Amino acid sequence: MNDDIFYEIAFKNLANETSVEDKELLERYLQHSEYKNKYNELVEILSHETSSKIFNEFNLKHGLKTLRRKINQEEKRKFSINKKAFAIAASLLLFLGIGTLLNNANFSNPSVNYVLVTSLEGQRTQIILPDSSIVFLNTGSEIRYPEKFNNKQRSVFLKGEAFFKVKRDVYKPFVVNSGNFKTTVLGTSFNVNSTAQTNFSVVVKTGKVKVENTNTKKEFILIKNTQVVFNKELNALEKSAVNAAYVTDWHNNILRFDAITLKEAFSKIEAWYHVKVQCESEAILNKKIRAVYNNEPIDKVFKSLEFMVGLKYKIENNKVIIK
């Protein structure tokens, strides 16, 4: 085991720049408690760094040297690591010298500093925005927002899925930009899923939301328990009623299967636990199930499925093999 290699791939992983080989190597490191602790300390230490400090550390070798010095200092103190510590991908991108965030065309004001937060695979991350609004990022999702909102509106940029609890401010609308779609609110709670240009939906749990297709200028007003979903075939948004509590309770660490096939359930499990599910039986994949799991370990989920549908399974590292 080599500390230099470990810190480099750990950085890359937190910045979402790892190759498949890097990820496999990092997983082998993290099987050792010593490196698992170092990884947690890395997240903890950098989460307390301000953007202004990070801007001056573009060189990777210099950055790694500086980081190791900080970790050596931190190791002299004992502190508790929160497993759900906020992702600090924005700082990491700048720290590694691979970020050109402030030059991005989405950010027309070069004097504004933006923060990029990424929720790692298999994790859900809670963020408090500068206006005290709360965001829950689903696994593999990312959000960009300014360190300080301007005087006219509160704009954020989302890739993936997030649940928002927006602090009400009638003078500053809250705007979520997701590819070709824009969601505007004053103060409410709602879910946005934008995993690709052709996969977009908004579900409102409380309050009122306006959703706009920025290409067609088509707008929808949504209230509690309504949603819009992008129809790929019609190339248009469609509005419908929905049980918002069921759709959005993932942010409370609730995994729900609501009359879906096991094929769909396995896809959710893969994202939720960051594993690969291998099943070649069409008979099993086509079975429908209803189930709710409240922050349960993966083994307990599959024991439940074993009882419900009679499947047999084996868990090997990050793979679940259905027999």
Total count of domains within the chain: 3
Instruction: Assign residue 284 the CATH number of its domain.
Output: 3.55.50.30
User: SS3 letters for 251-273?
Assistant: HHCEEEEEEEEHHHHHHHHHHHH
Name, in order, each residue with C-beta under 8 angstroms of 303's C-beta and a sequence gap of 6 or more. none
pLDDT tens sequence for the chain (323 residues): 666 677 777 777 766 666 777 777 888 888 887 778 777 776 665 554 433 333 333 344 445 555 555 555 544 443 333 333 334 444 444 444 433 443 444 444 457 889 999 998 889 999 999 999 999 999 999 999 999 998 789 999 999 999 999 999 988 999 999 988 999 998 899 999 987 655 789 999 999 999 998 888 889 999 999 999 988 778 788 999 999 999 999 999 999 998 899 999 999 999 999 999 999 899 999 999 999 999 999 999 999 999 999 899 999 988 999 98
Q: How many CB atoms within 10 Å of residue 96?
A: 20
Residue 104 maps to a domain: no
| Pairwise CA distance, residues 119 & 276, whole Å | 19
Same domain, 234 and 266: no
pTM of the model: 0.62
Residue 287 maps to a domain: yes
| Pairwise CA distance, residues 315 & 299, whole Å | 8
| Pairwise CA distance, residues 230 & 239, whole Å | 9
Collapsing DSSP to helix, strand or coil, 222 comes out as strand
Q: Which residue type does 16 have?
A: N
Same domain, 114 and 247: yes
Same domain, 234 and 129: yes
The pLDDT value given to residue 9: 76
Same domain, 86 and 170: no
From 76, 99, 122, the end of a domain falls on 99
Same domain, 113 and 152: yes
Residue 23 maps to a domain: yes
| Pairwise CA distance, residues 14 & 43, whole Å | 8
Assess contact for 174 and 186: CB atoms under 8 A. Answer: yes
Same domain, 193 and 169: yes
Domain boundaries, position 259: 253-322
Cβ contacts of 185-191, under 8 Å, gap ≥ 24 = 185/209, 185/210, 188/164, 189/163, 189/164, 189/165, 189/248, 190/163, 190/164, 190/166, 190/222, 190/248, 191/161, 191/162, 191/163, 191/164, 191/244, 191/247, 191/248, 191/251
Same domain, 159 and 79: no
Same domain, 131 and 233: yes
For residue 177 the two structure tokens come to 């930009």
Same domain, 203 and 140: yes
Same domain, 87 and 144: no
Instruction: Assign residue 156 the CATH number of its domain.
Output: 2.60.120.1440
Same domain, 221 and 197: yes
Residue 312 maps to a domain: yes
Tell me which residue has tokens 């005290």. Answer: 132
From 66, 99, 132, the end of a domain falls on 99
The pLDDT value given to residue 314: 92
Same domain, 198 and 85: no
